[in-house]
Amino acid sequence: MGTREAPDLGIPTEGLYSGVATVLEHDVIPFVSYPYEWTFGMLRDAALLQLELVRRAIGAGMILKDSSPYNVQFRGSRPIFVDIGSFERLREGEAWAGYRQFCMLFLFPLLLHAWKRVPFQPWLRGSIEGISPQECRSLLSLRDLFRRGALTHVALHSRLERRYQQRDADIKQELKAAGFRKEIIVANVKGLEKLVSRLRSPASTSTWSGYGLTTTYSDADADRKTLFVSEAVTSERPRLVWDLGCNDGHHARIAAATADYVVAVDADAVVVDRLYETLKSERTSTILPLAMNLVDPSPGLGWRGVERRTLLGRGRPDLALCLALIHHVVIGGNVPVKEFIDWLRELSAVIVIEFPSPEDPMVRRLLARKRPHDHPDYRQDWFERCLLERFDLVTSEHLSSGTRTLYHVRPKS
């Protein structure tokens, strides 16, 4: 990941418990993300990177003292290990201390997702330590126990953990005496690599997968929209772009042609996973796909609520795309129009936003699930008033199908 010794900038050691041996720096990760925002494929690839590092470290007489997905970041679709401090000298005869953490934060989340269709994202967001062996065991059926890896890594693991919970026996010493050696760790890691690489996300048709095919746009509208986005991005020359409600990533790609980096966010993890796999096969390093619901974005978590930062706490975009998004936030998420525009203003970014009128087929589909007057504020005139009170209009365009309008606006100073 491009780690090097940093020039001595006179790091203040005052207040530190011990001195500083050396200062390292590494290439800046354009945007920090967390496992509960990743898709199945992303967590799996991060797990495989972690395992490969353990295996190769052992070959060099080292090992990793922990095994946390929070030590992995993504540069586009490429996982990057960011914690040099994890490496330590291998002590002969000792087992891999990070194995339990690997199970709790990588293996069990993936197993439950693949075998039981339990998405790992809400669980990892709710539990910073991950899923314990006992918790994972409780969710497996008898049939699941016949799956590869279930008996040892889950059933036996949970049983041994319960059995040895209250005992202080020096198992480490006993294992060493019984001849435990590094080849055993390597065999275990190779087994895990095989297990993890064979896991597949359960094929399910999510709400929006296939949206690219079933969309209600005419081709002419889609082309105009593409051109509008392209012109806005080219004229603004943003470094960081957020594509909110990215779907198949079409507009994220257009933005990436000009911007340094694009964070492509969608609430549908299945759609985002598909985008990730496509970006991975293209080796794209400038688009980071993330699964997140904007109506309920990632909060601050961990110690003092700052160990894992909120979405906005990790950086703001220079430009945000909100295409075919607002009706989902307002009608689907019950957020008032004014509230949503307020939030957009808080980004202090140039905004490219699409407003589908209440007559639009997609909007009508969402409104059909509500009572007739649940969203009286979802009107184009009210939207425009809220928008133009907080932003200056650069340009707008009414699409020819008649129900959608695009706006390119800059925040009022």
Whose Cβ is closer to other proteins: residue 66's or residue 231's?
Answer: 66
CB of 305 to other proteins, least distance (A): 21
Q: Is 82 in the site for other proteins (CB under 8 A)?
A: no
Q: Is 176 in the site for other proteins (CB under 8 A)?
A: yes
In what order do the strands lie in the sheet containing 240-244? 287-291, 261-266, 240-244, 319-322, 350-356, 404-411, 391-398
Judged by DSSP in three states, 410 sits in strand
Judged by DSSP in three states, 282 sits in coil
Q: Is 98 in the site for other proteins (CB under 8 A)?
A: yes
Picking from 347, 104, 306, 318, the residue whose alpha carbon sits closest to that of residue 232 is: 318
The total number of residues shown for the chain amounts to 413
Whose Cβ is closer to other proteins: residue 107's or residue 272's?
Answer: 107
Interface mask (CB under 8 A) for other proteins, residues 15-34, using x and -? --------------------
Q: Is 194 in the site for other proteins (CB under 8 A)?
A: no
Q: Is 183 in the site for other proteins (CB under 8 A)?
A: yes
Q: Which of 9, 21, 28, 178 binds other proteins (CB under 8 A)?
A: 178
Whose Cβ is closer to other proteins: residue 17's or residue 205's?
Answer: 17
Q: Which of 40, 70, 74, 99 binds other proteins (CB under 8 A)?
A: 99
Interacting residues of 308 by C-beta distance below 8 A, sequence separation 6+? 34, 70, 128, 298, 300, 301, 302
Q: Which of 169, 203, 213, 368 binds other proteins (CB under 8 A)?
A: 169
CB of 98 to other proteins, least distance (A): 7
Q: Is 174 in the site for other proteins (CB under 8 A)?
A: yes
Segment lying near other proteins (by CB under 8 A), choices 95-103, 139-147, 207-215, 366-374: 95-103
CB of 157 to other proteins, least distance (A): 5
Whose Cβ is closer to other proteins: residue 46's or residue 279's?
Answer: 46
Segment lying near other proteins (by CB under 8 A), choices 180-188, 216-224, 314-322, 374-382: 180-188
For residue 35, give Cα distances in angstroms to 71, 139, 309: 10, 21, 12
Q: Is 55 in the site for other proteins (CB under 8 A)?
A: no
Q: Is 130 in the site for other proteins (CB under 8 A)?
A: no
Distance CA 122, CA 130 (A): 11
188 residue type, one letter: N
Paired tokens of 250: 């079409």
Whose Cβ is closer to other proteins: residue 163's or residue 283's?
Answer: 163
Q: Is 173 in the site for other proteins (CB under 8 A)?
A: yes
Total chain residues near other proteins (CB under 8 A): 43
Segment lying near other proteins (by CB under 8 A), choices 53-61, 161-169, 295-303, 405-413: 161-169
- Token look-up 């109506």 returns 295
Whose Cβ is closer to other proteins: residue 85's or residue 122's?
Answer: 85
Q: Which of 32, 48, 49, 66 binds other proteins (CB under 8 A)?
A: 66
Segment lying near other proteins (by CB under 8 A), choices 138-146, 182-190, 270-278, 300-308: 182-190
Distance CA 51, CA 185 (A): 11
Q: Is 100 in the site for other proteins (CB under 8 A)?
A: yes
Judged by DSSP in three states, 128 sits in coil
DSSP characters for 289-346? EEE--TTS----BSGGGTSB--SGGG---SEEEETT-HHIIIIIS---HHHHHHHHHH
Q: Which of 47, 103, 196, 256 binds other proteins (CB under 8 A)?
A: 103
Picking from 47, 42, 93, 67, the residue whose alpha carbon sits closest to that of residue 278 is: 42
Largest CA distance in the chain: 78
Distance CA 264, CA 254 (A): 12
Judged by DSSP in three states, 367 sits in helix
Judged by DSSP in three states, 191 sits in helix
Cβ atoms of residues 122 and 108 within 8 Å: no
Q: Which of 160, 220, 306, 312 binds other proteins (CB under 8 A)?
A: 160
Segment lying near other proteins (by CB under 8 A), choices 5-13, 138-146, 162-170, 336-344: 162-170
Which positions lie near other proteins, rule CB under 8 A?
A: 65-66, 95-101, 103, 133, 152-153, 156-165, 167, 169-181, 183-185, 187-188, 191
